[in-house]
């Protein structure tokens, strides 16, 4: 396999597995967030409408966990690769903290809150004011279960997928749609596609190369 440095426009499609080595748990599998918490109580609009304080308590814990950790070598290597673009399902902001500038966040960010049409960056841990000056609650700017993806973000992602000449998926189980389907837009053009994951996933068969191992096992070699 060619080094990724030989491509003109590499695209990384990343998921929770990339942040494992920073100390952030995945969503599924042993120790996964959704094994411990029922999303219907913590991660959907209905839960927020019913009990915003409980939903904020949960997100404050997650914001705290992210604030306490650092980007890992995988994030850094990807950030250093020239012309690389990133489409991430992660909401932890670690790509940006590693120095990446071209990051499309499909599922929003723990570091932003919104209320009505207003969206603001906010990294306070815990969030000091849960309510907007209007009296309504701020809401994490995250795509929760049952939410639609932002059409402008989708548009940007599709453009990146149409322009790349290699796609590398790192650390995603490929079970959350529509995100899971997106890499196929790039694959349809017959470009090389690489999956890095210690386990076989629901979408492994789509990839031209499946590398069974962790991000830190494979990214340093691929990016050498």
Half-sphere exposure in the Cβ direction for 150 (13 Å, CA): 14
Is residue 210 at the binding interface for ligand OAD, with CB under 6 A as the rule? no
Q: Of 195, 214, 222, 223, which one interacts with ligand OAD (CB under 6 A)?
A: 214
Alpha helices, DSSP H, located in the chain: 33-36, 39-42, 45-50, 52-67, 73-80, 94-97, 151-163, 183-187, 215-222
Residue 75 catalytic?
no
C-beta atoms surrounding 111 within 10 Å? 21
| Contact of 195 with 210, CB cutoff 8 Å | yes
CA dist 139 and 49 (Å) reads 10
Rounded to 10 degrees, the C-alpha dihedral 184/186/187/188 comes to: 90
Q: Which of residues 43-72 bind ligand OAD (CB under 6 A)?
A: none
Q: How far is the CB of 144 from ligand OAD (least distance, A)?
A: 6
The single-letter DSSP state of residue 165 is: S
**Beta-bridge partners for 137:** 131
Q: Which is nearer to ligand OAD, 8 or 193 (CB)?
A: 193
Q: Of 94, 176, 211, 223, which one interacts with ligand OAD (CB under 6 A)?
A: 176
Is residue 109 at the binding interface for ligand OAD, with CB under 6 A as the rule? no
Q: Can you spell out the DSSP letters for 137-151?
A: BPEEEE--BTPPPPH
- Closest residue to ligand OAD using C-beta atoms: 17
Q: Of 20, 55, 66, 86, which one interacts with ligand OAD (CB under 6 A)?
A: 20
Q: Which is nearer to ligand OAD, 62 or 85 (CB)?
A: 62
Q: Of 4, 24, 78, 91, which one interacts with ligand OAD (CB under 6 A)?
A: 91
Is residue 22 at the binding interface for ligand OAD, with CB under 6 A as the rule? no
Which positions are annotated as active-site residues? 107
Contact positions vs ligand OAD (CB under 6 A): 15-17, 20-21, 26-29, 32, 89, 91, 107, 142-143, 170-173, 175-176, 196-199, 201, 214-215
């Amino acid at each position: 396999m060619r080094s990724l440095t030989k491509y003109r426009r590499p695209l990384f499609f990343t998921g929770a597995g990339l942040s494992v080595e920073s100390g952030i748990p995945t969503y599924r599998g042993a120790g996964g967030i959704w094994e411990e918490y029922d999303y219907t109580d913590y991660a959907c609009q209905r839960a927020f409408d019913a009990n915003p304080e409980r939903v904020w308590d949960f997100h404050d814990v997650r914001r705290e966990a992210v604030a306490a950790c650092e980007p890992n070598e995988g994030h850094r290597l990807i950030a250093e690769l020239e012309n690389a673009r990133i489409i991430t399902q992660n909401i932890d902001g670690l790509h940006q903290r590693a120095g990446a500038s071209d990051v499309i966040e499909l599922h929003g960010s723990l570091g932003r809150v919104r209320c009505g049409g207003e969206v603001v960056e906010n990294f306070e841990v815990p969030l000091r004011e849960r309510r907007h000056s209007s009296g309504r609650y701020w809401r994490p700017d995250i795509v929760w279960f049952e939410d639609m993806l932002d059409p402008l973000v989708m548009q940007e992602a599709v453009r990146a997928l149409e322009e790349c000449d290699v796609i590398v998926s790192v650390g995603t189980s490929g079970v959350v749609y529509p995100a899971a389907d997106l890499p196929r837009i790039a694959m349809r053009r017959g470009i090389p596609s690489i999956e890095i994951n210690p386990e076989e996933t629901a979408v492994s068969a789509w990839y031209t190369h499946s590398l069974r191992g962790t991000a830190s096992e494979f990214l340093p070699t691929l990016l050498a």
